Structure 1
């Protein structure tokens, strides 16, 4: 292999995963890190590590010049982008090859073509692959007319990027403009492109994807399929391979469509073609192609016995695929649970913090992919997912039961996690029977706050039922301690975010709202369903519920507010939150501005 040194342009568990494959291949692995990750696991495992900037991703992991500088300083031959961050950025791929380095992934031209969701839809249609009715990139005015023709519900989708970012479901024309603005803003922050388009929203589909991999010699094969239907807010929670409940005919059509599409674009490297599937009618529709490694690649590795990362590195080095399509076989079944620092009993509120203890499950058929160790931290600047637990068994039920047991053994101290909730999902009758779909989390698997695991204890699922599901979205949060140790007044607040309601603990001080002052010339923004969301105690000022970045400020000094008015939009761990006032009054000072960081518990405005 001519590649000898690989710069891993990523962080967390995927950086750890790539470093381990490099080690097995005898390659030097170079890590990069921000100030927030100076003591991270991937930094300690690498042969060499380089600082690339401060904590915010845009000033470090998304800084192309800093990454290329680190590669040059380390004498790297190749750059592996992992997933997320710059992994699907055509400009980054072009910059890497322009610097004389090997990019571990498809060409920048292929990334650009398939990263443009509208262009990818057109290509799929050209290949005879069904696509849901939809539009190209459009303005709000154009979207209003198109929506009337397509009918509701619709999904507003970012035209660039992936991973569920920049997606909003709309059920009426009144929701369209706000949904487009929010989706475009989120896409712009995540991918640097804010264009959006519309697609017809399919009710109760399953999300099935096909893993493909190609080499520079014209060979493209599939590594079979996966089901990723357990999702909340378009973010995957549980994935499995192979996909269950597909007829032989439907599976063959999906696999053929994915390979045909990859061959059409001359695909080199690992990629995934994603579909929405209606199993009862054997229909499927092209969703998108991800031109990178997937978070869920591990379940495919477990059922095929292949190392996808090692194969990526080989084909990037110019080698032919070491196997043919006939060589790829599926043995048994594998399921993965994503472990994120989120509180499912507070509508999956992100909960960054120090991981004071961590005990990973062991046993036959169990695999753990984690990016932290005990003493590490889940930083608020990045994604809340910090690990994955996978289980392999002779069949789907054996894998499911093995993963239930493994999640029961997992212990995470210091932050709440999704583990106990996902254990209950796996143990539910509908998951076991395979009757669920992409809406089951919101529709039938809502956590019951009465069964939330005790605060301050390890977040493993333990031996009991733990997380019962009910039809209510209410959560419970009760700590009166602000991160940092100070005890202050606290209350529970249900926030209407662009991805659904989130209940959080809010820390702040009490004020007396005064008489109304002169009305502001700036209109007050009202949030849909504002009254339902403004549930905290009367007489308090709005504060940041967690460390975040201010996206937008909707008020100004002298403006008169009514209960439920939106004060600001904050972003933390890739989620936007609309912060509303719970009392009426007149704005005294606006204490934050767009683009500025804000600490948990910090007031956003004063009221008089």
Structure 2
């Protein structure tokens, strides 16, 4: 076995690889950027080396620097993780030529499967079904080609992945704008703006097969269902795929093996299929989507049902060239589901959030994978995933309940997250009864993404928290001599939709009356727990500057208001276009003086490895543009102004 390897990655996957290496007695070398000086993976590794800079283009994507460090540290192999250089054929080739082992497939296999047009042409040759569409190199007349294919359709970057460089086009008049966005995003993140166009399958399931090869022989480690996605990115994955018959499982696995064998595959890979469920699940209605020539984020669910360590498999195959098990030795046991927890603002269309992780409370009896520690910052330079939670049980109903419980027991302070969204998603009847497809989130988005309305009990607890009374050491100053009357205090706070005004009366000790609208609640701390109106309740309070969060079964985010501040609830700021998050302006579509209609694209903001089009929220004329292409902007920074055009304009 290797004695030392370098991990050319960061965050959760770097920590995941380091954990297995520690168990196997393999020394690890980490690389880190300026932002990651004190990150978990930097501290976990046996050796860590700085590649200066914040931008990943000059740190984690710096092939030359990475190989130089590998040689200096006498690392025998490089593990690329996922993302960054993991599917970069040129990097794999340079590693191979330097005499260092690349823990993954050959550079030729990566090159073939990394370009979707080449991969699909190869699949047609070996008899693996592909989605109807356009996969040729020529990039002229794409609008005419799209019209011939028919709408809706999907534009995909040929070198893309993770939803980047991908756009769903519903109508012909959207094609050119979305094509430009897909090409721009693809060029930035993959260095190649070529795209393919495919017919959109109306009721698809996204099912993928984990494969492992030794360069000659390939085995399938069965399938995963990854249909629950937002913005083309997976957020819930499970294994095995629900509702799959043994006949269909064999057909999927056989097709995946045929795919990998076509490129003499070595190491871990995933063959992704899109399954047409419009007339039910069938072994004759699935199509090759792409092959990911690396370990997937969701590999943990496969590990759970097979009781294997796939990182260990990667290391052993790379070292010895032999597969640890035969196909007939693999047996599915139980069911596993993984949830990805992101720093994102669900109510603002899943825009990534950034900030400092001030507090994390982890659930018990589930697997946690993370590269984040308390005090770490979620940066705009990297993917905003905070952690993964993987639950395992004997069957699907039990594991759904286990994961729902785990999500409720997970608390993250300092940034907005999708925890509540994920819990609602798992509670949908379509998910539990296995009648879902990739459209499940979109068809239930209002139910899933609406702001959870705080009860008057929650507002009462929030009032106690604001006054510092949830900290039992702070109650004495409010319970002393007050001219024979109990002390009363007004409290003003808000969430993103409404302002609240409550009145707290201190009854003495740890007893309080809180008036909320027309309701009065009695809150008390007794027997090492909080009660409200005589009933036990969960109550956690966390404050950060003017923002605070209450956890009482669910998490509620609020902002503290000054009682003297005039409400701006009814102010009209539609004419101001404001950055919804920190990032960099990558495109500006308008000029000062241009007339625009509500919904027209104005600028593109690049943040957290994704591009976000910002559109006009009113019709009018562009009065002033306050940013330039390439400029970095902060959250809530003013980008441009629009004013209503008069009738004679």
TM-score range, shorter chain: 0.7 to 0.9
Query: Residue 53 of structure 1: SS of its match in structure 2?
Result: coil
Does the 8 Å CA contact 1:209/1:225 hold for their aligned counterparts?
yes
Following the alignment from structure 2 to structure 1, what is the Cα–Cα distance between the partners of residues 351 and 163? 17
Determine whether 1:179 maps to 2:178: yes
Indicate the residue corresponding to 1:411 in structure 2: 411
Does the 8 Å CA contact 1:140/1:180 hold for their aligned counterparts?
no
Question: Which entry has the higher C-alpha Rg, 1 or 2?
Answer: 2
Following the alignment from structure 1 to structure 2, what is the Cα–Cα distance between the partners of residues 201 and 478? 40
Indicate the residue corresponding to 2:583 in structure 1: 548
Following the alignment from structure 1 to structure 2, what is the Cα–Cα distance between the partners of residues 452 and 231? 25
Following the alignment from structure 1 to structure 2, what is the Cα–Cα distance between the partners of residues 37 and 478? 38
Indicate the residue corresponding to 2:450 in structure 1: 449
Determine whether 1:40 maps to 2:39: yes
- 1:335-484 map, 5 Å: 335-363=337-365, 366-446=366-446, 447-451=448-452, 476=496
Following superposition, the deviation at residue 545 of structure 1 comes to 2.0
Q: Which moved more, 1:110-119 or 1:28-37?
A: 28-37
Q: Which moved more, 1:177-186 or 1:304-313?
A: 177-186
Indicate the residue corresponding to 1:286 in structure 2: 288
Indicate the residue corresponding to 1:471 in structure 2: none
Q: Indicate how the Cα distance of structure 1 residues 409 and 146 shifts in structure 2: closer, same or farther if over 3 A, else same.
A: same
Following the alignment from structure 2 to structure 1, what is the Cα–Cα distance between the partners of residues 130 and 616? 43
Indicate the residue corresponding to 2:86 in structure 1: 87
Indicate the residue corresponding to 1:274 in structure 2: 272
Does the 8 Å CA contact 1:566/1:579 hold for their aligned counterparts?
yes
Aligned length: 536
Following superposition, the deviation at residue 395 of structure 1 comes to 0.8
Alignment TM-score, normalising by the size of structure 1? 0.83
Following the alignment from structure 1 to structure 2, what is the Cα–Cα distance between the partners of residues 562 and 428? 37
Following superposition, the deviation at residue 417 of structure 1 comes to 1.2
Following the alignment from structure 1 to structure 2, what is the Cα–Cα distance between the partners of residues 219 and 558? 64
Indicate the residue corresponding to 1:153 in structure 2: 152
Following superposition, the deviation at residue 248 of structure 1 comes to 1.8
Does the 8 Å CA contact 1:213/1:270 hold for their aligned counterparts?
yes
Following the alignment from structure 2 to structure 1, what is the Cα–Cα distance between the partners of residues 100 and 575? 55
Q: Indicate how the Cα distance of structure 1 residues 414 and 587 shifts in structure 2: closer, same or farther if over 3 A, else same.
A: same
Indicate the residue corresponding to 1:202 in structure 2: 201
Following superposition, the deviation at residue 557 of structure 1 comes to 4.9
Indicate the residue corresponding to 2:247 in structure 1: 249
Following the alignment from structure 2 to structure 1, what is the Cα–Cα distance between the partners of residues 37 and 247? 51
Q: Indicate how the Cα distance of structure 1 residues 98 and 597 shifts in structure 2: closer, same or farther if over 3 A, else same.
A: farther
Following the alignment from structure 1 to structure 2, what is the Cα–Cα distance between the partners of residues 382 and 278? 34
Determine whether 1:78 maps to 2:70: no
Deviations 1:250-296, CA, capped at 9 Å, x for gaps: 11110001011111210000000000113515111111100000000
Q: Which moved more, 1:138-147 or 1:389-398?
A: 138-147
Following the alignment from structure 1 to structure 2, what is the Cα–Cα distance between the partners of residues 30 and 255? 35
Indicate the residue corresponding to 2:259 in structure 1: 261
Alignment TM-score, normalising by the size of structure 2? 0.78
Following the alignment from structure 1 to structure 2, what is the Cα–Cα distance between the partners of residues 310 and 253? 27
Following superposition, the deviation at residue 563 of structure 1 comes to 6.1
Query: Residue 168 of structure 2: SS of its match in structure 1?
Result: strand
Does the 8 Å CA contact 1:543/1:602 hold for their aligned counterparts?
yes
Deviations 1:544-592, CA, capped at 9 Å, x for gaps: 221101111223456566766543211112332233455745544x443
Following superposition, the deviation at residue 70 of structure 1 comes to 2.4
RMSD over aligned Cα, in angstroms? 2.5
Indicate the residue corresponding to 2:469 in structure 1: none
Query: Residue 15 of structure 1: SS of its match in structure 2?
Result: helix
Structure 2: which 5+ runs fail to align?
Answer: 463-494, 500-543, 548-558, 560-569, 644-649
Following the alignment from structure 2 to structure 1, what is the Cα–Cα distance between the partners of residues 6 and 571? 48
Following superposition, the deviation at residue 211 of structure 1 comes to 0.2
Does the 8 Å CA contact 1:33/1:43 hold for their aligned counterparts?
yes
Following the alignment from structure 1 to structure 2, what is the Cα–Cα distance between the partners of residues 226 and 566? 37
Does the 8 Å CA contact 1:449/1:476 hold for their aligned counterparts?
no
